[in-house]
């Protein structure tokens, strides 16, 4: 009788351990599909937008500065802002939005 009870307890502990592992895997899958994957897609979309910038595009930086792209280098760009045509050099990663609409070729 005692051996029967110890077998049932061992089976119950094994089932509990497996259910914990399954729940952990489900939580990881949940986080991947609802948080990580959409964030990666958005980062890729933003990088494509920054790589497609052209001279003359109107852009908005993360700091809220609105200007027109004057020149483009590897990782920086110069934008013209204001009516006095002042120029500011910013990093490409600081561009939040491209306001110019281009027709697809």
Q: What percent of the chain has pLDDT over 90?
A: 70
Q: Say whether pLDDT at 22 is over 70.
A: yes
What pLDDT digit, counting tens, does each position of 41-86 carry?
999 999 999 999 999 999 999 999 999 999 999 999 999 998 899 9
In CATH, what number is assigned to the domain containing residue 77? Answer: 2.30.30
Beginning with the edge strand found earlier in the chain, give each strand of the sheet holding 58-61 in spatial order: 86-91, 76-81, 66-72, 58-61, 95-98
Query: pLDDT value at position 5?
Result: 46
Structural tokens at position 44: 């890729």
Say whether both 21 and 34 belong to one domain. yes
**Closest among 46, 23, 52 to 97, alpha carbons compared:** 46
Which of 6-15, 62-71, 94-103 is the most confident on average? 62-71
Q: Residue 15's domain spans which residues?
A: 1-52
Cα–Cα distance for residue pair 10/32, rounded to 1 Å: 33
Instruction: Give SS3 for 39.
Output: helix
Q: Using CB atoms within 10 A of its CB, is residue 95 exposed (0-12), middle (13-18) or buried (19+)?
A: buried
pLDDT-derived band at 18 (thresholds 50, 70, 90) equals: confident
How many domains in the chain?
2
**Residue 58 maps to a domain:** yes
The count of C-alpha atoms lying within 13 angstroms of the C-alpha of 52, restricted to the half-sphere facing its C-beta, is: 15
């Amino acid at each position: 009788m005692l051996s029967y009870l110890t077998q049932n307890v061992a089976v119950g502990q094994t089932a509990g351990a497996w259910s914990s592992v399954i729940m952990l895997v489900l939580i990881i899958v949940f986080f991947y599909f609802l948080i990580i994957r959409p964030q990666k897609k958005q980062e890729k979309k933003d990088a494509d937008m920054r790589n497609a910038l052209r001279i003359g595009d109107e852009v908005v930086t993360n700091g809220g500065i609105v200007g027109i792209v004057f020149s483009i280098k590897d990782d920086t760009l110069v934008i013209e802002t204001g009516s006095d045509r002042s120029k500011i050099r910013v990093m490409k990663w600081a561009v939040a939005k491209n306001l110019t609409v281009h027709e697809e070729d």
